[in-house]
Chain A
Amino acid sequence: QSALTQPASVSGSPGQSITISCTGTSSDVGGYNYVSWYQHHPGKAPKLMIYDVSNRPSGVSNRFSGSKSGNTASLTISGLQAEDEADYSCSSYTSTSTLVFGTGTKVTVL
């Protein structure tokens, strides 16, 4: 199972919106609505930000939103804030009943 493809880095100024893509295949991202997104600050446990493509867990800011089109899922962060600077990873359920993660994206707030 190959890792899902994410851009290595994305940056934006405070207040702007950015979008991170997560590209897989019809055997994972494209085949199921089970994409999750995680925020990961160095040295800390990853935090679930989006589940099942577009749902936010309780307590996660509504500045974070998720979507999917075909084999590509996306995470959008609107109203970018300094605290959003972190690594972001996607994951998807797969046709072999396993999980696959993305290659990870470093978000920089300029």
Chain B
Amino acid sequence: QVELVQSGAEVKKPGASVKVSCKASGYTFTGHYMHWVRQAPGQGLEWMGRISPNSGGTNYAQKFQGRVTMTRDTSINTAYMELSRMRSDDTAVYYCARNSELGTRSGVDYWGQGTLVTVSS
């Protein structure tokens, strides 16, 4: 069965960076884009971008351009999302989510359990 297991909660100071990992199992890792989505307290889900585990190619939401970097390590079926120059409003639960097997336009189908990142001085 498809499973996405994310790294644990983080507490960071303003201006710092965080790197969240997402280990995939139960399917061919290189066969599906991996998306990153976040949810701030009391807010809706927000798409941050996606990475092709096959090529390493990325597409980032304009809001995060210049601050987010998505990478992957195919040897261990793991995707990473690094967010830099963090502010208090980056406090959120960050999710990885697998692209639907139906194609890039059909959204995501499986989600990780989420990683709480708290930005506080």
A45 B44 Cβ-Cβ under 8 A:
no
B45 A48 Cβ-Cβ under 8 A:
no
Stretch of A66-74, A76-84, A95-103 that contacts chain B: A95-103
For chain A, the count of residues having a C-beta within 8 Å of the partner chain is: 27
A101 B45 Cβ-Cβ under 8 A:
yes
Q: How far is the CB of A23 from chain B (nearest CB, A)?
A: 13
A101's partner among B47, B100, B105 (CB-CB below 8 A) is B47
Question: Which bucket holds chain B's interface residue count?
Answer: 20 to 34
A93's partner among B62, B107, B112 (CB-CB below 8 A) is B107
User: Which residue of A32, A91, A93, A99 has the most chain B CB atoms within 10 A of its CB atom?
Assistant: A99
A10 to B46, CA, bound (A): 21
Q: Which of A26-77 contact B (CB under 8 A)?
A: 32, 34, 36, 38, 44-48, 51-52, 57
User: Which residue of A1, A36, A93, A98 has the most chain B CB atoms within 10 A of its CB atom?
Assistant: A98
6 closest A-B pairs (Cβ-Cβ)?
A: A36-B107, A101-B45, A104-B44, A45-B111, A103-B44, A93-B105
Q: Write the residues of chain B forming the contact surface with A, with a CB cutoff of 8 angstroms.
A: 4, 35, 37, 43-47, 50, 59, 61-62, 95, 97, 100, 102, 104-114
